[in-house]
Chain A
Amino acid sequence: MTIIWGGLALGAVYALVAIGYNIVFISSNTFNFAQAQLMMVGTFVTYTGLVTFHLPVFAAVLLAMAAVAVVASIEERVAIRPVADPSALLVTTLGAAVLLNGLSQLTWGTQPLSVPFFAGDRVLGLLGGRVYPVELALVAVAIAAVLIFTLLSRRLVTGLALLAMAEDREAAMLRGINVRRMAFWAFAASGAFAGLLGVFVGPKTFAVATLGASLALKGFVVVAIGGFGSMPGTLVGGLAVGLVEAVAARYLGSEYALISVFAVLLLILLVRPSGLFVRAQERTV
């Protein structure tokens, strides 16, 4: 049970990365390679706020949200908007990811930094397993995030506009939606969201500059399982990836953890390339 709790918490982290991918994907049909790096910056800023400046939790979270939102906005302006060719976006967002990796290493060094969790780190016993409070919090945050974003996208005009943009950018423009501004704010929002998560993710993963690459990949596996743009899919995908990783690491050895996740990815891509929660569309000419 301890393993399952650990796996669930990891899965929640991956699901949160995947949610970030989806926000940007829905609003601008772009895959932001650097989403996991934004989350990584969030953990670093939270660390700085909590440990270096001794800020109260609330203030540290606000600081991280603001900082990462600014970073994300800059990324949108510099690496997304000026790019004419959509296929070059993979290159430029990867560039942003690499740049953020390098800058974080320059700023915070290469050693893992431990981010304290505000609700303490006393081990709890739950359903026959041992679990840290932060692990429970992560699962709760992931579920809450999916619920909130699903509701927002259905109830708010803004959410509907975002969906319209994902469906057909030109049609949305013709209906008076300022597509560029919306894409910008969606990007900034995904940044703020990534910053907010720093306080939850940091205590589980540590703030470390190598976090980005592996989070980015596992977040992608989650999206591949759940389907692009599907919010409920991220929960199922996160659950699957987290559990596979935790179980493989426990029973096969830690060097098999990633390989098992990779095997799951290959399987999904071969069997159901569009993901479990998105229906395949017939090609159009």
Chain B
Amino acid sequence: MAAVWRGLRSLPTWTLPLVLGLVLLSLPWFGLDFTLSRQIQLGCILALLVSGLNLSLGYAGELALGQVAMYAAGAYTAGLLATAGWTDLLLQLAAAGLAVVLVGVVTGMAGLRLGSLSLAMTSFFLILLIPDIVAIFEEHTGGRNGLAGIPAGTLLGRPVDPESFYFVVVAVLIGWFAVMRNIAASRHGVALQVLKQSPVLASSMGISVFRMKLLAYAVGAVPAGLAGVLFANLDLYISAEAFGFTMATTILAASILGGPMSVYGAAVGAAVMQAGPNQSSNFQQFALVFTGIFLIAGGVLLRGGLADLARKAVDRLDRAAGLKGRPEPEAGEAPDLPRIEGVELGVEDVSKAFGGNQALKDVSFRALPGRVTALIGPNGSGKTTLLNMISGFYRIDSGRVLVAGAPLKGAVPHRVARAGVARTFQTPNIPEGVTVLQAVASGRYSSDRVSLLSAVLRLPRFRRAARADLDEAGRVLALVGMGHLRDAEAVSLPLGMRRLLEVARSLVGAPGVLLLDEAASGLDEDEVDRLAGLIRRIRAAGGTVVLVEHNFRLVLDLADDIVVLAHGQVIAQGPPSEIAENPRVLSEYLGVDNEWGADHGTAAEFAGAAKTAEAPEEAS
């Protein structure tokens, strides 16, 4: 039994869906009556709609209720083209795809400005506009009477009868699912998951939050447009009534049921909704009641939908078949770190006020390649604020930040990241549902760019980058001593591991400047040693490291230059030996006053004092 399962698992994951798709395609040869054929075609159309929603809701985390509007746009595009004499289905599919991307981009640009709610509402609004727009262009669309007598579609000049149209519908479905699968199983899919989890993290990795969400929303509109074309050619009649609120909620319910963050869940959810509530279309009220219950129950109980249950079941079987053992750390030398082209980071007279609170005042320092620059200071002295300003999360009131001599003023976070500044966060920020290896590889998103199109078509360029992603990520993981955990779920790691994972993620893109925000807090002694060793190797490889740290011993141990902040100002900077003797630093930061500090001012002792009185983690 276990052997059979192991054999099955060695096949690619898309084997089963492809087989099911081919079975669906071959059903007419086994005799398929008209009613069932129609139900299957409607189910396929619904699956297309749901799949598009999954891309924006499940992957990008944006509730786009406007799938129905895109569906209508596709259907009317097809209907109008056909009545004008353009009956070729391929042409209609292409035109509808373009039309809905356009609608998606225009409405998405406005809707995405105010967070998830406003996209939900603007796209929802589109649904209500359908009857009005149809009415305005009455002479073309047939207005409230609907568009009747659409000429049947043709394919490359040959007419398509209802029996062969079945194949077109199923083929489009299979084709789209292949596209969707290629998007989900690519760095773009992981980037979308990162974005959903934390826009802050995404932008610090060089992902433009706005453009990525817009992309997901606009691409998610494409299958809806295709579905519209199929629907128009199925009935050869369309009216605004088919594109209403009920349809919109049915799509959402199917998505929630099948699992929004899955590729094939869309088909399962669509099948259930098509076989269930959609049958009671004569009793619309009941359909609404069922859909409402589905939505509430799905949102409350079934996080991740049926797809999640399936994943858990597969996991169980894997363990039973002995495919997943407990990983053991492998012994042996950590691999070498290749040369890192570190660049100089310059901070010149930077000031920042939050209301009346002067958080930073005329702060200047430089961090050089091949050196570790530590930022220290008591809680609230502005260390993290400074880091956030360097990464572009706060606007700079005055002064400027330079990376490799070029000023960053006014740059948004993803641009700063693309300029080569990578960072970690005080609270490790790890996306859900990805493996350790994927999480690390996602750090290469901005350093080695691959378009969505080449990911969809699996072009050589994509394959090269994907292989490099995995190789690099694997190597950096081995460097931080986590090579054996590469297939573990990233969020389930303990705190120390998650911190090291963050360091690995920011290191994998070979950044010009590496900002580590309290990377050592919460680590045990072993892990601190490992981290210190890693930082030394980054320095030796030529990297520029900026370290915000409370562990004074570690700082004295590691740093080449120390910048001490207090009350938003630099009170001292210099090599560790100087800083450790500086009386102001002693009183401000270590809380050691003169009676203590003047007599015993040696680095070693303060290191001891700092260690015992280690400051708690600064609130973010």
Interface residues of chain A, those whose CB is within 8 Å of chain B, are: 31, 78-79, 82-85, 87-92, 94-103, 105-106, 110, 213-214, 217, 220-221, 224, 255-259, 262, 265-266, 269-270, 273-274, 282-285
| Majority DSSP secondary structure for residues of B touching A | helix
Which of B116, B298, B620 makes the CB contact (< 8 A) with A90? B116
- B116 contacts A87, C-beta separation under 8 Å: yes
Per-residue CB contact flags for chain B residues 289-306 toward chain A (1 = under 8 Å, else 0) read: 111111111111001000
Which of A88, A259, A273 makes the CB contact (< 8 A) with B114? A273
Answer whether A285 and B393 are a contact pair too, CB < 8 Å, given A31-B117, A87-B116, A270-B113: yes
Which of A105, A256, A257, A270 makes the CB contact (< 8 A) with B284? A105
Answer whether A255 and B136 are a contact pair too, CB < 8 Å, given A84-B303, A85-B303, A269-B114: yes
- B121 contacts A79, C-beta separation under 8 Å: no
Which of B126-134, B145-153, B170-178 is found at the contact surface with chain A?
A: B126-134
19 contacting pairs across A/B (C-beta < 8 A): A78-B300, A79-B296, A87-B61, A87-B63, A91-B298, A95-B296, A95-B297, A98-B292, A105-B284, A106-B285, A217-B121, A255-B132, A258-B129, A262-B126, A274-B114, A282-B395, A283-B394, A285-B384, A285-B425
Answer whether A256 and B289 are a contact pair too, CB < 8 Å, given A98-B249, A274-B114, A283-B393: no
Which of B124, B292, B354 makes the CB contact (< 8 A) with A101? B292
Per-residue CB contact flags for chain B residues 255-291 toward chain A (1 = under 8 Å, else 0) read: 0100000000000000000000000000011111111
Distance to closest chain A CB from B590 (angstroms)? 27
Is B118 located at the chain interface by the 8 A CB criterion? yes
- Bound together, the chains give a CA A184 to CA B118 distance in angstroms of 25
- Bound together, the chains give a CA A5 to CA B288 distance in angstroms of 35
Q: Which of B65, B111, B285, B393 has the most CB of A within 10 A?
A: B285
- B620 contacts A99, C-beta separation under 8 Å: no
Distance to closest chain B CB from A75 (angstroms)? 9
Residues of chain A within 8 A (CB-CB) of B65 are: 94
- B128 contacts A269, C-beta separation under 8 Å: no
- Bound together, the chains give a CA A85 to CA B61 distance in angstroms of 12
- Bound together, the chains give a CA A87 to CA B61 distance in angstroms of 8
10 tightest A-B CB contacts, nearest first: A95-B295, A99-B292, A102-B288, A102-B289, A92-B299, A98-B292, A95-B296, A105-B285, A273-B113, A91-B299
- B288 contacts A105, C-beta separation under 8 Å: yes
Is B135 located at the chain interface by the 8 A CB criterion? yes
- B129 contacts A92, C-beta separation under 8 Å: no
- Bound together, the chains give a CA A270 to CA B295 distance in angstroms of 31
Is B404 located at the chain interface by the 8 A CB criterion? no
Per-residue CB contact flags for chain B residues 587-620 toward chain A (1 = under 8 Å, else 0) read: 0000000000000000000000000000000001
- A98 contacts B116, C-beta separation under 8 Å: no
Which of A105, A224, A259 makes the CB contact (< 8 A) with B132? A259
Distance to closest chain B CB from A264 (angstroms)? 11
- Bound together, the chains give a CA A89 to CA B299 distance in angstroms of 7
Q: Which of A31, A87, A94 has the most CB of B within 10 A?
A: A94
- A266 contacts B294, C-beta separation under 8 Å: no
Is B125 located at the chain interface by the 8 A CB criterion? yes
- Within B379-403, the residues touching A (CB, 8 Å) are 384, 388, 393-395
Residues of chain A within 8 A (CB-CB) of B86 are: none
- Bound together, the chains give a CA A266 to CA B394 distance in angstroms of 27
Distance to closest chain B CB from A71 (angstroms)? 13
Interface residues of chain B, those whose CB is within 8 Å of chain A, are: 61, 63, 65, 107, 109-111, 113-114, 116-118, 120-122, 124-126, 128-129, 131-133, 135-136, 200, 245, 249, 252-253, 256, 284-300, 303, 354, 384, 388, 393-395, 425, 620
Distance to closest chain B CB from A35 (angstroms)? 13
Residues of chain B within 8 A (CB-CB) of A270 are: 109-110, 113
Q: Closest residue of chain B to A34, judged by CB?
A: B292
- Bound together, the chains give a CA A140 to CA B209 distance in angstroms of 43
Which of B118, B289, B394 makes the CB contact (< 8 A) with A224? B118
Answer whether A265 and B122 are a contact pair too, CB < 8 Å, given A256-B136, A273-B113: yes
Residues of chain A within 8 A (CB-CB) of B287 are: 102
Q: Which of A78, A91, A96 has the most CB of B within 10 A?
A: A91
Distance to closest chain A CB from B391 (angstroms)? 8
Which of B110, B126, B299, B425 makes the CB contact (< 8 A) with A269? B110
Q: Which of B132, B253, B286 has the most CB of A within 10 A?
A: B132
- B252 contacts A258, C-beta separation under 8 Å: no
- A79 contacts B299, C-beta separation under 8 Å: yes
- Bound together, the chains give a CA A274 to CA B295 distance in angstroms of 29
Residues of chain A within 8 A (CB-CB) of B286 are: 102, 106
Distance to closest chain A CB from B231 (angstroms)? 22
- A269 contacts B293, C-beta separation under 8 Å: no
Which of B120, B122, B299 makes the CB contact (< 8 A) with A88? B299
Answer whether A262 and B125 are a contact pair too, CB < 8 Å, given A98-B295, A99-B292, A285-B393: yes
- A95 contacts B294, C-beta separation under 8 Å: yes
Which of A92, A94, A262, A283 makes the CB contact (< 8 A) with B300? A92
Q: Which of B114, B126, B292, B297 has the most CB of A within 10 A?
A: B292
Given contacts A90-B120, A224-B118, 7 further A-B contacts (CB under 8 A): A79-B300, A91-B295, A102-B292, A105-B288, A255-B135, A266-B122, A283-B200
- Bound together, the chains give a CA A17 to CA B287 distance in angstroms of 26
Which of A82, A101, A214, A217 makes the CB contact (< 8 A) with B288? A101
Residues of chain A within 8 A (CB-CB) of B290 are: 102
Q: Which of A79, A102, A217, A265 has the most CB of B within 10 A?
A: A102
Residues of chain B within 8 A (CB-CB) of A221 are: 121
- Bound together, the chains give a CA A84 to CA B301 distance in angstroms of 10
- A99 contacts B288, C-beta separation under 8 Å: yes
- B110 contacts A95, C-beta separation under 8 Å: no
- Bound together, the chains give a CA A251 to CA B414 distance in angstroms of 47
Residues of chain A within 8 A (CB-CB) of B288 are: 98-99, 101-102, 105
Q: Closest residue of chain A to B255, judged by CB?
A: A91
Q: Which of B109, B249, B303, B393 has the most CB of A within 10 A?
A: B249
Distance to closest chain B CB from A118 (angstroms)? 30
Q: Closest residue of chain A to B393, judged by CB?
A: A285
- B122 contacts A269, C-beta separation under 8 Å: yes
Residues of chain B within 8 A (CB-CB) of A269 are: 110-111, 113-114, 118, 122
Distance to closest chain B CB from A254 (angstroms)? 8
Distance to closest chain B CB from A230 (angstroms)? 14
- B128 contacts A217, C-beta separation under 8 Å: yes
- Bound together, the chains give a CA A198 to CA B358 distance in angstroms of 51
Distance to closest chain B CB from A37 (angstroms)? 10
Residues of chain A within 8 A (CB-CB) of B293 are: 95, 99
Q: Closest residue of chain A to B198, judged by CB?
A: A285
- A94 contacts B252, C-beta separation under 8 Å: yes
Q: Closest residue of chain A to B112, judged by CB?
A: A269
Residues of chain B within 8 A (CB-CB) of A265 are: 110, 121-122, 125
- B295 contacts A94, C-beta separation under 8 Å: yes
Q: Closest residue of chain A to B114, judged by CB?
A: A273
- A95 contacts B299, C-beta separation under 8 Å: yes
Distance to closest chain A CB from B124 (angstroms)? 6
Which of B107, B109, B128, B296 makes the CB contact (< 8 A) with A258? B128
- A90 contacts B117, C-beta separation under 8 Å: yes
Residues of chain A within 8 A (CB-CB) of B285 are: 102-103, 105-106, 110
- Bound together, the chains give a CA A79 to CA B295 distance in angstroms of 9
- Bound together, the chains give a CA A166 to CA B429 distance in angstroms of 25
- A92 contacts B295, C-beta separation under 8 Å: yes
Q: Closest residue of chain B to A213, judged by CB?
A: B245
Distance to closest chain A CB from B422 (angstroms)? 15
- Bound together, the chains give a CA A96 to CA B133 distance in angstroms of 29
Residues of chain B within 8 A (CB-CB) of A94 are: 65, 249, 252, 295
Distance to closest chain B CB from A129 (angstroms)? 26
- Bound together, the chains give a CA A96 to CA B116 distance in angstroms of 19
Q: Which of B125, B128, B299 has the most CB of A within 10 A?
A: B299
- Bound together, the chains give a CA A84 to CA B300 distance in angstroms of 8
- B620 contacts A262, C-beta separation under 8 Å: no
- Bound together, the chains give a CA A217 to CA B249 distance in angstroms of 15
- A217 contacts B125, C-beta separation under 8 Å: yes
